[in-house]
Amino acid sequence: MGLALLLWSVVGAPAWAQAQAWHVALTVSSGEASRELVLGQHPEATPAVDGRLGELVEVELPPLPPLGSLDARFVGPQLGNGVAVDLRPLDAGRTDTLTIAIQAVSDVPTVVRWDAAAMAARTALARLTDLYWGLLGVEVDMRATGELTVADARIDRLRLVVRSATPTSVDSGGVQDGTWGEVKTAR
């Protein structure tokens, strides 16, 4: 056991045990307008605004547009005016709570869409709720469904709780194929 840990610290963990950067896009739309948001994890990310991380750029957005114009952004104490890309530190099994601020088009429902299969592949938990943990009737498992409609314009913030998937370790008789959470039995 000690030799395995020493090898991991010297040469790195095997590919199946290493966490990988990931991201998933969300599309927020109201009426004809839409806005794309991206969440995920990256090895160089911090909880604050980081700039360029791989192919994604995490930058503080300008102040909100005039009322009646759609806007959606991740907001938080370290995010200034908010960001469209919110990448968090890479940590397999890490749980983050993100807040999405929405300024909807007047009297038009807001629809949030994402790829549920991609979310399920990259996360162990992904739940989108109102700020009161679903008390206002807004609650969805993002791993099971790919859309949420918010009809009440007074709901201007959503809470997204996400826990990244962790690679599954080899169990007795199992061989890891390099994908997240899938163990194939060697025959």
Task: Indicate the pLDDT class of residue 160, thresholds 50, 70 and 90.
Answer: very high
Cα dist from 42 to 92, 94, 148, whole Å: 11, 12, 26
Higher pLDDT, 166 or 110: 110
Who's near 134: CB < 8 A, 6+ residues apart?
none
Name, in order, each residue with C-beta under 8 angstroms of 113's C-beta and a sequence gap of 6 or more. 26, 27, 29, 146, 147
CB 79 within 8 A of CB 86: yes
3-state secondary structure of 144: coil
CA distances from 184 to 115, 134, 164, 187 (A): 25, 37, 21, 9
Task: Tell me which of 72-76, 106-110, 144-148, 163-167 is least confident.
Answer: 163-167
Measured CA to CA, the distance from residue 94 to residue 166 in angstroms comes to 9
The predicted pLDDT at position 29 comes to 96
Average pLDDT over residues 62-72: 92
169 pLDDT band, cuts 50/70/90, is very low
Q: Which long-range contacts (CB under 8 A, 24 or more apart) does 49-55 make?
A: 49/78, 49/79, 49/80, 49/83, 50/87, 53/87, 54/21
**Contact between residue 78 and residue 100 where contact means Cβ atoms under 8 Å apart:** no
Give the C-alpha separation, 96 to 142, whole Å: 14
Q: What is the pLDDT of residue 167?
A: 57
